[in-house]
Amino acid sequence: MKVITIAAGKGKRMGKFTENVPKPLVMINGRSIIDRQLSIMKDHKITDIIIITGPHHEKFNLKNITYVNDTDYEKHDALASFMTARDYMDNEILITYADQIFDESIIRQMINFSGDFGIAVDLDWEKNYVDRDQHPKSEAENVLISNKKILKIRKNISECQINQKIGESLGLMKFSRKASNLFLEKYLELEKTHKGKFHDSLSLEKAIVSDMLIDSGIEVEPVFVSGKWCEIDTPQDLERARKIFK
C-alpha cells in the first residue's frame, strides 16, 4: 500500500502560524502535524509515502519520503493537486490531507477496508463544532448516506430522509489498485473534455477529490470510523487539537 498525502494548501486562515512554514509542519505539543501522521503509518509498516508539497516546499526535509512539488498550487484546488502524483497511482492507495491528525484506530479501520473506493466518515461529528466559530458547522464536508452508499458529498447538508444518514468526511480515502486505475483513467478523460462547473466546484481545476468520485459515477462506500481526529484549518482548530492530542 502507498500513502499519498496532499500538503499543497496555503493555510491562509492560520495567520501567523503559516507565514513562514507550511501548515503540515506546524507543531502540536512538540510534534508536527505531518510527523504525527507518518508515525502512525510507520506503526502499520507503511513505508511507501508520497507527499505533495506547495508553498515553502523547501522546508520539508523528512527522510525516506518521495516528494512531488505542486508548482501550480495557486491555480487549482485539491483534486488537481492530487493528480500531480498521478505517476504513483499504480497500487492500493491511502489518501490523506496533511492538515489532519487522527489516532491509530482510524487508520487501522481504513487499512482494513476491503472495497474499491472508501471514504472515512464520522457519524458522531456534530459535537466537534461546539464553540468553534472560526470553522463553523456550516463548513463541514458532509456526506449523505443511504444503504451504506454515499449519495452526496458537499458542505452543509442539513436534511435527509428517514432511511438516510448525514456524517462528516474526514478527507481520508482508500483506493484499491483497480480503483486507482479507474480514477486515473476517468480524470485523464475529464481533463481533455470537461468544461464549466464540476459538481459543486466552479471547474475541474477548482474541484476537490470527492467531487471527482461523485460526478464520475463511481460507487463509493462510507467507512464508518470512530476515534479522535482533528482538521486544523484555523488557530482555533490548532488550540483544540493541542487539547485533544496532549
Q: How large is the average pLDDT for residues 3-31?
A: 92
E-strand ranges in 70-215 read 93-97, 100-102, 117-122, 141-146, 149-155, 164-175
Q: What is the mean pLDDT of residues 94-110?
A: 95
Q: For 162-181, what is the mean pLDDT?
A: 93
pLDDT at position 158 is: 82
Q: What pLDDT score was predicted for residue 159? A: 83
pLDDT at 156 over 90: no
66-90 pLDDT, tens digit per residue, is 999 999 998 999 999 999 999 999 9
Q: Chain-wide mean pLDDT for the chain?
A: 92
* Number of Cβ atoms within 10 Å of the Cβ of 109: 19
pLDDT of residue 216: 61
Half-sphere exposure of 13 (CA within 13 A, CB side): 13
- Residue 18 Cα distances to 9, 33, 124, angstroms: 10, 13, 30
What was the pLDDT predicted at 246?
A: 83
Inform me whether the pLDDT recorded for 152 exceeds 90.
no
Residue 97: pLDDT band by 50, 70, 90 thresholds?
A: very high
The arithmetic mean of pLDDT across residues 172-176, rounded, is: 95
Per residue in 188-241, pLDDT (tens digit) is 999 999 999 988 789 999 998 988 887 566 788 999 999 999 999 999 999 999
Q: What is the pLDDT of residue 212?
A: 84
pLDDT band at 174 (very low <50, low <70, confident <90, very high): very high
What domains appear along the chain, each with residue ranges and CATH number?
Answer: 2-120+170-213+226-244 (3.90.550.10)
| Angle (CA) 94 141 201, round 5° | 95
Let me know: does 184 contact 86? Beta carbons within 8 Å.
Answer: yes
Mean pLDDT of the 114-136 span: 92
Q: How large is the average pLDDT for residues 11-38?
A: 92
